[in-house]
């Protein structure tokens, strides 16, 4: 198994997480995740992070300060994501 950083598929992974791949591209990404430990870890982390952000932004009362921090952390996350 190749454990080296895999910058080539990082963009593919982001698109996969965003659900922007077509069916065959998504299959390709899944096959790659099966064989690439680095991307699998990245994927798990990103997915957990996004789930956490969504939960935090949508379900839990939060100080404006924390909201700003979280939003700054990931510019693509905003309270609008849960609508």
Mask: binding to Zn ion, 28-47, rule CB under 5 A, as x and -? --------x--x--------
What are the structure tokens assigned to 40, written together?
């699998």
Assess 6 for contact with Zn ion (CB under 5 A): yes
Q: Which is nearer to Zn ion, 36 or 53 (CB)?
A: 36
Interface mask toward Zn ion for 54-73; x: CB under 5 A:
--------------------
Give the dihedral sign, CA 45/47/49/51. negative
Alpha-carbon torsion angle 75, 59, 21, 30, nearest 10: 110
């Amino acid at each position: 198994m190749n454990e080296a950083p895999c910058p080539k598929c990082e963009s593919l992974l982001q698109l996969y997480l965003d659900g922007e791949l077509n069916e065959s591209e998504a299959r390709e990404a899944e096959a790659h995740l099966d064989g690439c430990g680095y991307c699998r870890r990245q994927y798990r982390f990103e997915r957990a992070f996004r789930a956490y952000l969504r939960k935090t932004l949508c379900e839990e009362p939060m100080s404006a300060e924390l909201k700003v921090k979280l939003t700054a952390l990931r510019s693509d996350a905003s309270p609008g994501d849960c609508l």
